[in-house]
Structure 1
């Protein structure tokens, strides 16, 4: 079960690196606008906010990666529990305030990773 937790936590970290890239570097580009369903004028007006949001996603990814390199079965476990919990909260909040899709893209993978980690 620990291997599943590691793989799932790594997937969640990679997703957040992807979110960072989309929000910080591609928000106003066709890829970012398509991913988030944005009109060009809104994307341009909100690019600073999106970059800030992307930075926070990067911090989530960094925390998860730190937990993974510290050994998920021992020293890294508390880091993973904390950061996966943060991702779950962010996913629930995003689902309630922006789109339910966020729960499935962000929250569910983190919940599965956390469950696997706690069962390991």
Structure 2
């Protein structure tokens, strides 16, 4: 993989670690400041749902980090592409169902990283 692809994979993994932390541990404290249009009284009842989503983001980050640690030059990009595809699909679905911003924050970077991997 190219250096740029590796950096993008690492950045996307870090983004998903942040999302994991936010959804699992800061949903009620920071959530109301970030999601201002979401009624404040719904953060506590949706804490478990957000934590579940955070766990999924942790799995995405773990897979991307794993791909960076694989020394086999054939398998590393394959694993990275799989997890980037998962991120892209989740981002596209999130953009269609929740917020268009998710497309640009999650899906587009994953697609760009995937294309870079395929070109090297």
> TM-score, length-normalised on structure 2?
0.93
Cα separation, 2, equivalents of 1:110 and 1:72: 21
- Alpha-carbon RMSD: 1.4
Q: Who is 1:90 aligned against? A: 90
Deviation for aligned residue 1:64: 0.4
Q: Who is 2:63 aligned against? A: 63
Q: Gaps spanning 5+ residues in structure 2: where?
A: none
More helix by share: 1
> TM-score, length-normalised on structure 1?
0.93
Deviation for aligned residue 1:40: 2.3
Deviation for aligned residue 1:75: 2.4
Deviation track 1:40-69 (CA, whole Å, cap 9, x = no partner) reads 211111010000000000000000000011
What secondary structure does 1:76 align onto?
helix
Q: Gaps spanning 5+ residues in structure 1: where?
A: none
